[in-house]
């Protein structure tokens, strides 16, 4: 269905839902007593240009990073800061208590990566699953029907085949290949070693993103099924009214921002 707003994605953390169009980023935050605060910000000119630029040589990773950068607020920084701090602490603890210390962790890095992934998924299940589900349902309701009323939103599925979870298999595979390559040869000079690791990981992510653009990871059996299972058991859940009303407010404000923009152009 052709809608008046081109929705290009969304993101969710506990208590907050953001929905992005090709012009605006809207974030709705659920506060005390059911009060919902909403902020509307224009998409940065750089992000708009890069996202809309169709040159096939444009790095897909650059597009993704600019998309993720839009609408990042203090709540996002605190949430992910705590998450990565916890993971870093886990790594340091593992290196200190395992027999063989650092060598034991390095030789079993795949096990550490798997354990880390499971911990992250369980944390996401506990913190953002309902908010993520509400985001998916609200966007799906608008794209499929053009409606944003609560009853229409409640009829949608919290599982979206186009969710970023479709990248999980590619990301895990890319990480394992990166680990193998960097363990095989890493420059002795610290700065070069750091740049080398960054380059290998970026190159592998670019390959994953280009496969998605070429074939669509949501259409490939393995990646689409992995995304479905990931969302069903970890990253989404059936939301309650609080989560749905917050996501609905974000979508309503996004539509209103586009209408005001068009009205301003016509005067």
* pLDDT averages per 10-residue partition of the chain, 267 residues: 88 92 94 91 83 77 77 63 62 52 53 64 80 97 96 97 82 73 67 73 86 87 88 93 97 96 82
What integer pLDDT is reported at residue 96 of this predicted model? 52
How many angstroms separate the CA atoms of 102 and 87, rounded?
16
What integer pLDDT is reported at residue 102 of this predicted model? 47
What integer pLDDT is reported at residue 260 of this predicted model? 94
Strand runs labelled E in the chain: 7-13, 16-21, 24-30, 36-42
The structure tokens listed for 66 are: 């600019």
Q: How many CA within 13 A on the CB side of residue 15?
A: 14
In this structure, the chain runs to a length of 267
What integer pLDDT is reported at residue 73 of this predicted model? 63
Token pair 């974000």 in the structure block, residue: 250
User: Nearest Cα to 242, choosing from 26, 25, 28, 11?
Assistant: 28
What integer pLDDT is reported at residue 116 of this predicted model? 66
Question: What is the value of pTM for the model shown?
Answer: 0.79
Please, are residues 43 and 21 in contact by the beta-carbon 8 Å criterion?
yes
What integer pLDDT is reported at residue 23 of this predicted model? 92
């Amino acid at each position: 269905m052709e809608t008046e707003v081109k929705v290009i994605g969304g993101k969710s953390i506990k208590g907050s839902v953001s929905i992005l169009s090709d012009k605006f980023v809207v974030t709705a935050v659920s506060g005390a007593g059911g009060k919902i605060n909403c902020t509307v910000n224009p998409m940065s000119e750089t992000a708009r240009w890069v996202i809309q630029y169709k040159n096939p040589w444009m790095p897909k990773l650059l597009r993704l990073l600019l998309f993720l950068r839009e609408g990042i607020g203090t709540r996002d920084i605190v949430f992910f800061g705590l998450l990565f701090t916890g993971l870093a602490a886990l790594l340091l603890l593992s290196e200190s208590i395992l027999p063989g210390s650092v060598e034991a962790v390095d030789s079993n890095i795949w096990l550490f990566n798997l354990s880390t992934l499971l911990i992250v998924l369980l944390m996401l299940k506990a913190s953002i699953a309902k908010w993520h589900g509400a985001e998916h349902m609200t966007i799906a309701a608008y794209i499929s029907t053009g409606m944003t009323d609560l009853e229409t939103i409640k009829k949608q599925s919290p599982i979206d085949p186009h969710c970023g979870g479709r990248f999980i298999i590619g990301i895990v595979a890319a990480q394992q290949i990166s680990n193998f390559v960097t363990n095989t040869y890493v420059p002795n000079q610290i700065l070069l070693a750091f740049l080398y690791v960054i380059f290998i990981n970026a190159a592998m992510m670019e390959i994953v993103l280009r496969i998605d653009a070429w074939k669509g990871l949501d259409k490939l059996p393995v990646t689409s099924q992995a995304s479905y299972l990931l969302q069903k058991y970890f990253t989404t859940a059936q939301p309650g009214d609080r989560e749905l009303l917050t996501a609905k407010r974000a979508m309503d404000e996004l539509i209103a921002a586009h209408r005001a923009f068009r009205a301003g152009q016509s005067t």
